[in-house]
Amino acid sequence: MSVINRMLQDLDRRRASGEERKALPVQARPLAGGPPRSSRWAWALGLAALAVIAGLLYWGLRPSPRAAPQAPAGQPGVAPPPSSSESGLPDAASLRFSERLGTTSVFSAKKPQPREPAPLAEQKSPVVPLLPLPQPPPPAAIPAPAPPPPLAAKEPVPPPRRPAEKLPQPSIDKQLKQVSPSQRAENEFRRGTQLLHQGRQTEAQTAYRAALEEDPAHRPARQALLGLLLEAKKSAEAEQLLEEGLKVNPAQPGFAMALARLQADRADLKKSIDTLQRTLPQATGNADYWAMLAALLQKDGRHGEAITHYQAALRLKPQSGVWFMGLGISLEAEGRRVDARAAFQRAQATQSLSPDLQAFVEQRLRELEPERR
């Protein structure tokens, strides 16, 4: 049974009046020989319910009565939202009775039909207001970057001066600093010492000789070179080096003693004595110097002079047993036996002699004993 039939039957049951029945459409009028009067009331009630349902659907699907936003001046308006018919939603116009009573639905919604896409030329994109893009300025309008500010000077700023005051112009010394020969000699000496510490003796000798060429009076360089020559047993070069040093500065008792020793080793006593005597005025307070000269004089047979120099040395260093022994030998050679015995006794009393020298002194004492009557 369809909905229309139920409505007609409901009208008949309620015994609806003729006006209610006239409100029905012509198509909803019962046919001749139709149902009884009670069915008419059913039909009237069905139509009323159908009207109520249609009204509710209409008011429920109606868009809210809000004012559409106004587009700002100077900009194109926004397209209005599509209608219910375009959106596919049912509206009041789409609700209709079925033309045929045998359908299952009273009303149908208008479904959106697929439409063919319009050509690209006919498609219209939604109008969206866009701000104009900023155009880059021409190259000539771009300002050049400003140079960085100069760094502040760390020097104190001078006080402001009066206009009449004139500052003196600084004088520029264009002369290069001259290195003195003694400074150059010192530099070569230090370089030679470094080479010597590295075991490079030949190069060290060259550096020491270069230092003496710059400054012949540079004593440390000469002394270091002398040590290398003596270690290498170059006696002739060592003697020449010492003689040159004494010519530059005679007041060098150490160099004179070393030169005299080298000369005495090669049996040149006279030259060695002459070397010591030339430098004797600069060695008056040197006991070793006096004793060495006395031994050379004694060896050369000049015992009188030897006694004088031994006595001068013992006055400066009275605890030397070897020098007392040398004095005793020269006194005995001069025939002064008593003085010689006394000198030997003083040498023995110092207890500083080696065993061999101690035996020699004891022997001399036995021979110098006084004869008993």
Query: Please, are residues 275 and 253 in contact by the beta-carbon 8 Å criterion?
Result: no
Hey, how many other C-beta atoms are within 10 angstroms of the C-beta on 264?
21
| Separation CA 340–CA 186 (nearest Å) | 52
Q: Which residue, among 162, 200, 363, has the nearest Cα to 208 in the 3D structure?
A: 200
Q: List the chain pLDDT tens, one digit each, 373 residues.
A: 455 667 667 766 766 566 665 555 555 555 444 455 556 777 778 888 888 787 777 766 655 555 444 544 444 444 444 444 444 444 444 444 344 434 444 344 444 455 554 444 444 434 334 334 444 444 444 445 555 555 555 555 555 555 555 555 655 555 556 788 889 999 999 999 999 999 999 999 999 999 999 999 999 999 999 999 999 999 999 999 999 999 999 889 999 999 999 999 999 999 999 999 999 998 888 999 999 999 999 999 999 999 999 999 999 999 999 999 999 999 999 999 999 999 999 999 999 999 999 999 999 999 988 766 5
CA 281 to chain centre: 64
Residues 6+ apart with CB under 8 A from 228: 196, 201, 204, 205, 208
Q: Is the pTM of this model over 0.85?
A: no
Residues 6+ apart with CB under 8 A from 70: none
Query: Please, are residues 8 and 30 in contact by the beta-carbon 8 Å criterion?
Result: yes
Query: Please, are residues 330 and 307 in contact by the beta-carbon 8 Å criterion?
Result: yes
DSSP code for 283: G
Q: Let me know how long the chain is.
A: 373
Token duo for residue 186: 């010192």
Residues 6+ apart with CB under 8 A from 348: 321, 358, 361, 362, 365
Token duo for residue 71: 């587009």
Query: Please, are residues 341 and 368 in contact by the beta-carbon 8 Å criterion?
Result: yes
